[in-house]
Structure 1
Amino acid sequence: MPLPRVALFARFPEPGRAKTRLIPALGPDGAALLHRRLTERTLAVLRSSGLPFELRHTGAPAAEFCLWLGAAVPLAEQGDGDLGARMARATADAPAILVGADLPDLAPRHLEQARTALQSHPAVIGPAEDGGYWLIGLREPMPFLFEPMAWGTEVVFAETMARFAARGIVPAVLERLPDLDRPEDLGRWPELAGR
């Protein structure tokens, strides 16, 4: 199997449009700054992993991302549709591993674990503490995983596992990690929130 490509999903850090659930705690500028820090931190992890990667961007033209992150970061547009449609597009040329930018505890070892798991399993998933997942990796495209569901809610991991089970697919399951999405999450990583 070729090395999986890691796709990082990230929005441009525009105040008022980035990390909107954190605006009540940080204000529009603070939430955007936090998203900027998280994205840069996650890119550093991807570089350290040694795996090929790309940033799947939305919220601004590619040129704006190049000005922010440099021309050496491979870019691809997320495209239209809901999160599921955009994730399906990113896994159409699997093997692929998808992650978001809201994982302060993500380390290169997590990506290595996912890569290793794909050698013996058709898929790998990392459950998040909030009921979603922080990583999904596929050896081949599985568009059924990304058909409409209540994205961003506590049912996403369970529903995804049910979709695997309905097709007799047993994914490797990584450790549970927290993500940084809501004001109550900020206390875990005060250094990122600038507190």
Structure 2
Amino acid sequence: MNKKLIIFAKAPVPGKVKSRLGKSIGMEKACDIYRALLDCLISTCQEEESFKIVLYVAGSQDFFKKYYPKLKVKKQSEGDLGNRIHNAFKTELNDSTQVALIGSDCPLLSMDHIQEAYKNLTSADLTIGPAKDGGYYLMAMNQAHQIFDGITWSSELVLKETLALAEQQNLNVELLETLSDLDTEADLKRHQEFFLNSNKLSALWPYPS
């Protein structure tokens, strides 16, 4: 089985990443947290050999080429988030049978969730990992279905509208466990145990500098 994992990411620049969190704890600290979470995610994924990783980057690619030289780095396409996601799936499914896409905002996303997403595609058209804020932290497909037109991005309607478009196309959808993204100070406090139990993240706690 030819599998790929797309990771959507941004170069860690203060004020450009985790800006909602930065308004509460400072942009520099929020950027530090983003970078640490991203590094933990990529490091974990690199340990798995059953899929190939492709980094799709918004903004400069220099950071990723410097710190992750073994990974393929591509630029996200133009347009809204839905257009960028769809184009990434379409590109990677040209030479892959299963493709999953994740961001770097969900600390509790594990390799088990990713492997479950691939497994579901043996009987489903689409796997989605719902986020508690109404969006999703993961999506996996074996064909580049267009289920992103007209989505109200950055709202609590994202998952609901995506599922409605999937239903209109008679797609069989499997849902993973619902997890929480990390976007606000309240989200950060909820993930305190995760930070304290991580070698790479524990140094960032207590988070207010």
Establish whether TM, by shorter chain, passes 0.5.
yes
Matches for 1:53-92 after TM superposition, within 5 Å: 53-60=53-60, 62-67=61-66, 69-92=67-90
Q: Tell me the distance in 1 between the aligned counterparts of 2:5 and 2:175.
A: 17
1:165 aligned residue: 167
Deviation digits for residues 13-71 of structure 1 (CA, Å, limit 9, x no counterpart): 101111111111221111111110111111123223332111111121x233222x231
Which amino acid is 1:76 matched to? K
Structure 1 position 135, deviation (Å): 0.5
- Equivalent in the alignment of 1:149: 151
CA distance in 1: counterparts of 2:150 and 2:55, whole angstroms: 23
Residue type of the partner of 2:102? V
Tell whether the 8 Å contact from 1:49 to 1:109 is kept in structure 2 after alignment.
no
Residue in structure 2 matched with residue 137 of structure 1 by the alignment: 140
Q: Identify, as 1 or 2, the structure richer in helix.
A: 1
Say which SS state the counterpart of residue 158 (structure 1) adopts.
helix
Instruction: Give the counterpart letter for 1:179 in structure 2.
Output: D
Partner of 1:19: 18
- RMSD of equivalent CA atoms: 1.4
Q: Which amino acid aligns with 1:129?
A: K
Equivalent pair of 1:96/1:137 in contact (CA under 8 Å): yes
Task: Give the total of aligned pairs.
Answer: 191
**Aligned mates of 2:171, 2:14 — CA distance in 1:** 41
Structure 1 stretches of 4+ moved >4 Å: none
1:28-107 → structure 2 map (5 Å cutoff): 28-50=27-49, 51-60=51-60, 62-67=61-66, 69-92=67-90, 93-94=92-93, 95-107=98-110
Equivalence for 2:118: 115
Question: Would you say the 8 A contact 1:129–1:178 is kept in 2?
Answer: yes
Match of 2:198 in 1: none
SS in 2 for 1:89: helix
Alignment-mate amino acid for residue 34 of structure 2: H
Unaligned 5+ residue runs, structure 2?
Answer: 196-200
Q: Give the drift of 1:156.
A: 0.6
Return the TM-score normalized by structure 1: 0.92
Which one-letter code corresponds to 2:88 in the other structure? Answer: A
Provide TM-score, normalisation by structure 2: 0.86
Q: Which moved more, 1:27-36 or 1:89-98?
A: 89-98
User: 1:158: Cα distance to partner?
Assistant: 0.8
